[in-house]
């Protein structure tokens, strides 16, 4: 799975600070290093609306549709995903569960090859992509571009980096968290500290 940060609000913490200080009319207190302290106070107070003024966009590729189905449940996130109607899945790639024992990998691969033949059979019998895909597995690899504001990213990361989350979405969200943290340490630092191993 590849997680690529393709766009982010420039100087996001300064934008968040400016928005928050507009509430309190304290723009005169905005200094070179004041954003981190203020953002810490906002998070403690639960005043999270200023975080909505910063956005990020990621391209996620080589993940399973089992993972993407969980991710797209987050309704405040914008999503574009590779279509199984407009793009054929002949020779589809797939994700092998990390939890699969090494001795079972060949059998899993054989199952995927069987499904590939089933898909090809129904295509050959005249089914369109949109209906031939009914036989495809959740393991099928997909690609998405997602965008959300920082408040929503904090919400997603808190839920999906938890030890209760499934391994693949936890891995995706941990990678996004690290990249977001590099640009906005005050916004995402507490989440990075509490996130378990991906
Ligand atoms: C560990 C785990 C297990 C899960 N298991 C299942 C499962 O078995 N079955 C299943 O169906 N789902 C499951 N889910 C998905 C879960 O139910 C949510 O759909 C998903 O986490 C999206 O969360 P959300 O609605 O808070 O987020 P978002 O859609 O990202 O929304 C963010 C926040 O905005 C607010 N919001 C958004 N839309 C509305 C609205 N229409 N009305 C009011 N407030 C709104 C809420 O405060 C919400 O928390 C699971 C999630 C996790 C993390």
- 72 in ligand 1 pocket by Cβ < 6 Å? no
Residue nearest to atom 41 of ligand 1 (CA): 75
Report how far residue 42's alpha carbon sits from residue 47's, in angstroms, rounded to the nearest whole number.
5
- pLDDT score recorded for residue 146: 98
Place of tokens 């003024």: 53
Which token pair is 100? Answer: 């699969």
Tens place of pLDDT for every residue, the chain, 198 residues?
999 999 999 999 999 999 999 998 887 777 777 899 999 999 999 999 999 999 999 999 999 999 999 999 999 999 999 999 999 999 999 999 999 999 999 999 999 999 999 999 999 999 999 999 999 999 999 999 999 999 999 999 999 999 999 999 999 999 999 999 999 999 999 999 888 655
Given this model, what pLDDT does residue 20 score?
95
Other beta carbons within 10 angstroms of residue 140's beta carbon come to: 21
Identify the pLDDT of residue 14.
94
Q: Using a 6 Å cutoff on CB, does residue 164 contact ligand 1?
A: yes
Is the distance from CB of 77 to CB of 146 less than 8 angstroms? yes
CATH classification code of 2-80+141-194:
3.30.1360.170
Q: Are 185 and 36 in contact (CB under 8 A)?
A: yes
C-alpha 73 – ligand 1 centre gap (Å): 7
Each domain of the chain, given as residue ranges in start order, spans 2-80+141-194, 85-135
Write down the pLDDT at residue 29.
Answer: 76
For residue 112, how far is the Cα from the chain centroid?
25
Q: What is the pLDDT of residue 26?
A: 81
Distance separating alpha carbons of residues 18 and 193, to the nearest angstrom? 26
Q: Report the catalytic residues.
A: 160
124 C-alpha vs ligand 1 centroid, how far in Å?
40
Helices assigned H by DSSP within the chain: 12-24, 35-45, 65-71, 105-124, 129-132, 150-160, 167-183, 185-194
- ∠ Cα 186 190 193 (to 5°): 125
């Amino acid at each position: 799975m590849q997680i690529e940060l393709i766009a982010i609000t420039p100087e996001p913490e300064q934008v968040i600070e400016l928005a928050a200080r507009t509430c309190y009319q304290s723009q005169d207190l905005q200094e070179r290093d004041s954003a981190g302290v203020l953002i810490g106070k906002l998070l403690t107070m639960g005043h999270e609306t200023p975080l909505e003024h910063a956005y990020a966009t990621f391209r996620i590729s080589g993940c399973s549709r089992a993972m993407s189905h969980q991710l797209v449940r987050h309704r405040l996130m914008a999503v574009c995903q590779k279509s199984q109607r407009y793009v054929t899945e002949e020779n589809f790639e797939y994700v092998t569960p990390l939890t699969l024992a090494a001795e079972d990998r060949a059998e899993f691969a054989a199952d995927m090859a069987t499904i590939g033949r089933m898909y090809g059979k129904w295509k050959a019998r005249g089914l369109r992509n949109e209906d031939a895909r009914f036989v495809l597995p959740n393991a099928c690899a997909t690609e998405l571009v997602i965008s959300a504001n920082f408040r929503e990213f904090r919400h997603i990361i808190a839920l999906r980096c938890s030890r209760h989350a499934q391994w693949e979405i936890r891995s995706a969200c941990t990678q996004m968290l690290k990249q977001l943290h590099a640009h906005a340490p005050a916004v995402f630092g507490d989440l990075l500290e509490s996130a378990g191993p991906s």
